[in-house]
């Protein structure tokens, strides 16, 4: 991933005092940045080669709990160290934090310095390497949807997450008047990210009160995931700096539209779009058809990597623009997969299943693995569906719950062959634990429904 700061430039900025802090970050299982704040002089003198972190960082849940059941680490194994190896190509300034730079790190084994297979960045790198061996590269883009709220994270947390008032009062989809009122957050977000080397295209109001969408330019698959992760992190920090909260929870209220993170993708060969065939009616090459056939056929296998939490599945509601079916259609937003740019060199497929809570590295890796399998097996793509896909009784369905998706992930021979048993087992355990934690909680809904009337 191209950052916007060379190591030589960083040394110069440290010497003149304009940079005094370097964030060294790994990406955890949930797609969050975790790491250390280095004094910049120490980083350029010593720690630019490697530093260390506890290996529990890739075996926790959202609350940073340490569940049993992971083969990689445990209380019994003593929770040792991982090596954090800075990828100096990702060095960048962090313009929204004074005197600060950032670098993303790869995660290595402490003893033999080999990559940790279940590290999200490594999971994606492995599929990129498989594609490269076939002579292809992947170009991808994600759309980040989220909600802005009137109050801050601290105020909302202290209210028990009950005082949730969006920053606007009505559906603001493409609405310039309402989004002008939100420029106190969105303008610095766009400008700071662009200054940090993230190729921001635009932001817009999305189809709900207080809902935003941030779009980043198409790019190489690893760049796409890195950009997504940094942008999501920046959104929360910049909202906080301005006294607001930004949430990527896919479904924060049952009466509100959910937040997604659609993934656009295509393969390229020798600098040319391998998905494009000018002689095809829709502009689709045979390669694209095979890729899409695999992508769609195996969607249930990798749904748990696109929708990793119990809440994720509350978003899959018909007539909400969230998909419920694993079929494709031409420029039709009711399908799980949408053909975009039909008949042009920009032809690509958009996967509409992932929610705003996805870990982009895992979701993108799984999509590439499914597409590769489609190419290898020369899978045949069914005809596109038309009309209201929500009402298509013959179409395959997305797993309806995390419990179902976890079992499908566990049994996926395709993903086990593509990613390794250890990776599939690791993230199956993450899904299981999330379900176990939810199952033991008594919800407000249960109490209100049955306290008196049961």
At residue 1, the pLDDT reads: 53
Cα dihedral 354, 316, 412, 378 sign: negative
Model confidence over 273-296: pLDDT tens digits?
A: 999 999 999 999 999 999 999 999
Count other C-beta atoms under 10 Å from residue 52's C-beta: 14
Q: What is the pLDDT of residues 301-326, one digit of tens each?
A: 999 999 999 999 999 887 777 887 88
Say how many C-beta atoms besides its own lie within 10 A of residue 326's C-beta.
23
pTM listed for this prediction: 0.96
Nearest one of 429, 415, 435, 405 to 72, comparing CA atoms: 429
Closest of 163, 14, 23 to residue 103, by C-alpha: 23
Domain annotation for the chain: domains and CATH numbers: 7-116 (3.10.20.70), 127-445 (3.30.590.10)
Three-class HEC string of 367-386: HHHHHHHHHHCCCCCCCCEC
- Distance in angstroms (rounded) separating the CA atoms of residues 161 and 190: 28
In angstroms and rounded to an integer, the radius of gyration of the C-alpha atoms of the chain is: 22
Three-state SS sequence of the chain: CCCCCCHHHHHHHHHCCCCCEEEEEEECCCCCEEEEEEEHHHHHHHHCCCEEEEHHHHCCCCCCCCCCCCCCCCCCCCCCEEEEEECHHHCEECCCCCCEEEEEEEEEECCCCCECCCCHHHHHHHHHHHHHHCCCEEEEEEEEEEEEECCCHHHHHHCCCCCCCECCCCECCCCHHHHHCCHHHHHHHHHHHHHCCCCEEEEEECCCECEEEEEECCEEHHHHHHHHHHHHHHHHHHHHHCCCEEECCCCCCCCCCCCECCEEEEEEECCEECCECCCCCCCECHHHHHHHHHHHHCHHHHHHHHCCCHHHHHHCCCCCCCCCECCEEECCCCCCEEEECCCCCCCEEEECCCECCCCHHHHHHHHHHHHHHHHHCCCCCCCCECCCHHHCCCCCECCCCHHHHHHHHHCCHHHHHHHCHHHHHHHHHHHHHHHHHHHCCCCHHHHHHHCCCC
Reading the chain (454 residues) residue by residue, the pLDDT tens digits are 578 899 999 999 999 999 999 999 999 999 999 999 999 999 999 999 999 999 999 999 999 999 999 999 988 888 999 999 999 999 999 999 999 999 999 999 988 999 999 999 999 999 999 999 999 999 999 999 999 999 999 999 999 998 899 999 999 999 999 999 999 999 999 999 999 999 999 999 998 999 999 999 999 999 999 999 999 999 999 999 999 999 999 999 999 999 999 999 999 999 999 999 999 999 999 999 999 999 999 999 999 999 999 999 999 887 777 887 888 999 778 888 999 999 999 999 999 999 999 999 999 999 999 999 999 999 999 999 887 878 777 778 889 999 999 999 999 999 999 999 999 999 999 999 999 999 999 999 999 999 999 9
CA distance 5 to 180: 32
Paired tokens of 297: 């056929």
């Amino acid at each position: 991933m191209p950052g916007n700061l060379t190591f030589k430039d960083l040394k110069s900025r440290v010497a003149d005092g304009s940079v005094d802090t370097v964030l060294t970050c790994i990406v955890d299982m949930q797609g969050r940045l975790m790491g250390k704040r280095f004094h910049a002089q120490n980083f350029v003198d010593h720690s630019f080669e490697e530093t260390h972190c506890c290996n529990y960082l890739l075996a926790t849940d959202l609350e940073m709990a340490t569940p049993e059941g992971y083969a990689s680490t445990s209380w019994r194994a003593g929770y040792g160290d991982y090596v954090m190896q800075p990828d100096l190509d990702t060095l960048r300034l962090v313009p929204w934090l004074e005197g600060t730079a950032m670098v993303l790190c790869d995660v290595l084994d402490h003893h033999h310095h080999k990559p940790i297979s279940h590290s999200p960045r490594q999971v994606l790198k492995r599929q990129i390497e498989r594609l490269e061996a076939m002579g292809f590269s992947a170009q991808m883009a994600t759309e980040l949807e989220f909600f802005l709220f009137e109050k801050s994270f601290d105020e909302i947390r202290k209210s028990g997450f009950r005082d949730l008032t969006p920053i606007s009062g009505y559906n603001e989809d493409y609405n310039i008047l309402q989004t002008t009122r939100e420029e106190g957050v969105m303008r610095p977000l766009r400008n700071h990210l662009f200054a940090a080397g993230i190729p921001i295209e635009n932001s817009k109001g999305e189809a709900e009160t207080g809902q935003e969408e941030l779009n980043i330019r198409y790019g190489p698959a690893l760049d796409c995931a890195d950009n997504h992760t940094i942008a999501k992190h920046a959104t929360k920090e910049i909202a906080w700096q301005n006294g607001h909260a930004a949430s990527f929870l896919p479904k924060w209220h049952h009466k509100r539209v959910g937040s997604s993170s659609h993934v656009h993708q295509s393969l390229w060969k020798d600098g040319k779009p391998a998905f494009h065939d000018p002689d095809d009616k829709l502009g689709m090459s045979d390669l694209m058809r095979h890729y899409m056939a695999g992508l769609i056929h195996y969607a249930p296998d990798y749904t748990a990597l696109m929708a990793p939490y119990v809440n994720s599945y509350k978003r899959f509601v018909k007539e909400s623009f969230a998909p419920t079916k694993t079929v494709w259609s031409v420029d039709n937003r009711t399908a799980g997969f949408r053909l975009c740019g039909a008949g042009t060199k920009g032809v690509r497929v958009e996967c509409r299943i992932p929610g705003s809570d996805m870990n982009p590295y895992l979701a993108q890796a799984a999509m590439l693995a499914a597409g590769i399998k489609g190419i290898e097996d020369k899978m045949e793509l069914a005809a596109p569906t038309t009309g209201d896909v929500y009402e298509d009784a013959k179409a395959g369905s997305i797993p309806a719950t995390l419990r179902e998706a976890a079992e499908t992930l566990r049994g996926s021979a395709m993903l086990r062959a593509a990613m390794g048993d250890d990776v599939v087992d690791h993230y199956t355990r993450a899904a299981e634990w999330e379900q176990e934690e939810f199952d033991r909680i008594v919800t407000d809904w249960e109490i209100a429904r049955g306290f008196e009337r049961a």
